[in-house]
Structure 1
């Protein structure tokens, strides 16, 4: 099996990539919860907390500071924005929480991998040093939220 070379991420984008790592962990935690037959309400509560503390601020930062580096009609930006809208809907869906959490686990994971492997690479290639510096300044001190109090995945 061919080993993939790790992506060399510009230092200005590293905090956003670290947040992506937490998103992947969120998906993993949901999978663990499903495998352990954890009550859906507990996982839904965690999803609500994660959306408020991690996803919503992260999406806002990407959309405000990162995506404008590329043209608004760029197909990668259009895809990312469409996926953001879909993921937000899944986080906020209360009609069928189990189905939404299953889809969320899969779609958030796929979205993060798209941004890390494709979109961020494109942005990194075209961004000016001034744009990257501005992103670095904005993200120099990302908020650290307290750990979630119900680790159902353990």
Structure 2
């Protein structure tokens, strides 16, 4: 019998919605490859997404979310290491096809890790005061996509 999935606390729900947009980035990269879109076009969108969405998202997680657990916690260490790896990938301009393939795969794996393992652990130990603080500091804006080149459609 499978354990029942834990309902995400409302303070963490906006972060989960942001994760959805990250998963869509991975899907858009795959769609671009399947449509044989010029890699520079896909890369331009990925760079926009990184600058406008991932960097602020990573900063919020690293400062306010991961810190709920002990800094020596293995899950926190893994989350931080994956953030560093993704940042390096997004700033590597060696081979767009190779880098985009790695971004697509590693971003999706990272989001699945946070959603299925790290966030449930954080939610389990977080106090109501900590969760309330997250709600106050993280006022998510409506996601506005960059549709200047919708190569994935």
| Smaller-chain TM-score bracket | over 0.9
Asked if the contact 1:90–1:103 (Cα under 8 Å) also holds between the matched residues in 2, the reply is yes
4+ long deviations beyond 2 Å:
2-7, 143-147
Q: Distance in 2 between matches of 1:144 and 1:61?
A: 17
- 1:135 matches 2:125: no
Aligned to 1:86: 85
Cα deviation, residue 143, structure 1:
2.9
CA 3–150 in structure 1, closer or farther in 2 if over 3 Å, else same? farther
SS at match of 2:11: helix
Number of residues paired by the alignment? 152
Deviations 1:44-89 (A, max 9, x none): 1001100011100000000010011000000000000000000011
> Could you list the runs of 5+ residues in structure 2 that have no partner in the other structure?
none
Aligned to 2:149: 150
- 1:117 matches 2:116: yes
CA-based RMSD: 1.5
1:3-18 equivalences under 5 Å are 5-18=4-17
SS at match of 2:16: helix
Asked if the contact 1:53–1:145 (Cα under 8 Å) also holds between the matched residues in 2, the reply is no
- 1:19 matches 2:26: no
Q: Distance in 1 between matches of 2:92 and 2:116?
A: 28
